[in-house]
Structure formats: C-alpha cells, structure tokens
Amino acid sequence: MASTVLKRSCYSGMRSMVGALSTGGRSYASVAVGTDIVSAAPDVSLQKARSWDEGVSTKFSTTPLKDIFKDKKVVIFGLPGAYTGVCSQQHVPSYKNNIDKFKAKGIDSVICVAVNDPFVLNGWAEKLEAKDAIEFYGDFDGKFHKALELDKDLSVALLGPRSQRWSAYVVDGKVKSLNVEEAPSDFKVSGGDVILGQI
C-alpha cells in the first residue's frame, strides 16, 4: 500500500485544547520515504525505558540508532508524551493489541519513542502493561525528532518541545512508509491498523 505522507503544518496548539488552529511554517518533515534514519540523525542515541536503578547500574547508557535499525524490520511510532490522553488511550493500545499481527509479518520490533526521559517512559509502559509487546525509548532532549523535523512546540498544552504524532515502517534503517498526523491531537493515520496495511 502506498505510504500516507500528510502535510506537516505548524499549529498554535493541540486541537483538543485550543479549537481554532493557524497554519504556517515548514510544510513537510525532512524525513520521508527512502530516508536513511541513521544518516539523517547522525550521532543521535535513544534511551531505552528502564527504572532509575537500572539506569544507575548501566551508567545511564544510551542506544545508537544503528543498533535499533540495522538489519531489522522495525515499526516505530512517535507521540507527544507519556501519560497524555490520546497517547495512552488510543495510540499505544493500537500497537499493543496488534503485536501478534506485526510479528506474523516479520517485524523484529515495535518501538514507541517520545520526548520524555526513559524513567517516565518506563513507568508509563508498566502502567499500560505494554512492555512485553513494545520497546519504549526516550528522546530526552528531542535531538532525534529535531533531526527528522518531527519536533513540535506544545507549550500551549504545557508540554514544551515535543514530538509530532507519527509512525513509520523501517527496513535496515530505510523508511518504507511514513504517516504524520496534521495535529498532535489527531489519531487518523498513525495507528497500528494503518501501518499494518503498509507492510
């Protein structure tokens, strides 16, 4: 199925909290079908979700992107943040509930990434009972999303610099399909059911 790449617009805030939205700024993210994510975000690492004690015992180690994507079929989705409404109630469950279907299609890992520290993400993943199905990674300083131009200022919702809501199917680091919501509060194209049809 052809990838759905939606126009990326800068909004004044999340639709559910603001109502009227204004558009402008960059039209598209720099990441697109065919992009090599590792090359697009050089020297960027993510932080696997873990408890504080696990962080201390691993000396707060990080995971290079090549270790996440090289020689693997990966479904990755990004969202504005842990413990937020759509993220908790719809986005993560759409992947958790379809994990057997992803595995049947040969997907090596399903990954959730957000601009949060790995300790918050760990607590959230445990609350959602999703750690056995999905790998959670923190982009604590937002460098990953900024490199791909998938970042979003959500200060109006008291979240500060965060991520767009998006999903991608990535094979050996190359983006095969990409879906970006028009607004972070939307949940139309970035869910598990959509990307299952694109694999």
- pTM for this entry: 0.79
Ordered per-residue pLDDT tens for the chain, 199 residues? 444 433 333 333 333 333 322 233 333 457 788 889 998 888 899 999 999 998 898 888 899 999 999 999 999 999 988 888 888 888 999 999 999 999 999 999 999 999 999 999 999 999 999 999 999 999 988 899 988 888 776 656 546 567 889 999 999 999 999 999 988 778 899 999 999 999 9
Which residue in this structure is represented by tokens 């520290």? 117
Phi/psi of residue 175, nearest 5 degrees? -75, 120
Would you say 166 and 78 are in contact if contact means Cβ atoms under 8 Å apart? Answer: yes
Q: How many helices (H) and strands (E) does the chain have?
A: 10, 9
Query: Which residues have CB under 8 Å from 146's CB, separation 6+?
Result: none
Would you say 127 and 112 are in contact if contact means Cβ atoms under 8 Å apart? Answer: no
**Domains within the chain, CATH numbers bracketed:** 35-197 (3.40.30.10)
- Structure letter (DSSP) for residue 128: T
Neighbour tally for 25: CB within 10 Å: 9
In the annotation, is 112 catalytic? no
Catalytic residue among 40, 87, 114, 178: 87
Would you say 36 and 169 are in contact if contact means Cβ atoms under 8 Å apart? Answer: no
Q: Which residues are paired to 179 by β-bridges?
A: 167
